[in-house]
């Protein structure tokens, strides 16, 4: 489980750097500044949660069950939250109107919030 958390955290981290560079340089001429700021929000939250997975992967005080649930909450949350933000920010570049699926952004946010709440609960329950 720890290896999967660490690898996934590292992959989300490297993708954050790549997407951040793309947003800062590749999108400048293609979308308005407001869209770039929106895109950067997705990158930022993806990186925060990459760090969360790396942290959870190295901390021994988190139960295996909690680690497994955290993994799925974070991955699903990042895909729905950051992924939908990337799509919405680049909406003008496609023929598909991503605004029609914009409702998944707050659902992804709830998954991310749930992962942090689960971590808090795990820490409170644990006797160190």
Per-residue model confidence (pLDDT) at position 128: 62
DSSP the chain: -HHHHHHHHHHHHHHHHHHHHIIIIISTTTS-HHHHHHHHHHHHHHHHHHHHHHHHHH-TTS-HHHHHHHHHHHHHHHHHHHHHHHHHHTGGGSSS-GGGGTTHHHHHHHHHHHHHHHHHHHHHH---
Per-residue model confidence (pLDDT) at position 76: 98
Per-residue model confidence (pLDDT) at position 108: 98
Q: Give the chain's residues under pLDDT 50.
A: none
Per-residue model confidence (pLDDT) at position 1: 84
User: Is the pTM higher than 0.85?
Assistant: yes
Structural domain spans, the chain? 2-125
């Amino acid at each position: 489980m720890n290896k999967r958390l660490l690898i996934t955290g590292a992959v989300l981290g490297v993708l954050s750097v790549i997407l951040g560079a793309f947003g800062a340089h590749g999108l400048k001429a293609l979308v308005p500044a407001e869209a770039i700021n929106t895109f950067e929000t997705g990158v930022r939250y993806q990186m925060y949660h990459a760090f969360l997975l790396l942290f959870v992967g190295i901390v021994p005080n988190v139960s295996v069950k909690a680690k497994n649930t955290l993994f799925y909450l974070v991955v699903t949350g990042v895909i729905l939250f950051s992924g939908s933000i990337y799509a919405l920010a680049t909406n003008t570049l496609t023929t598909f109107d991503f605004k029609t699926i914009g409702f998944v952004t707050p659902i992804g946010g709830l998954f991310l919030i749930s992962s942090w709440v689960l971590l808090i609960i795990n820490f409170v329950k644990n006797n160190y």
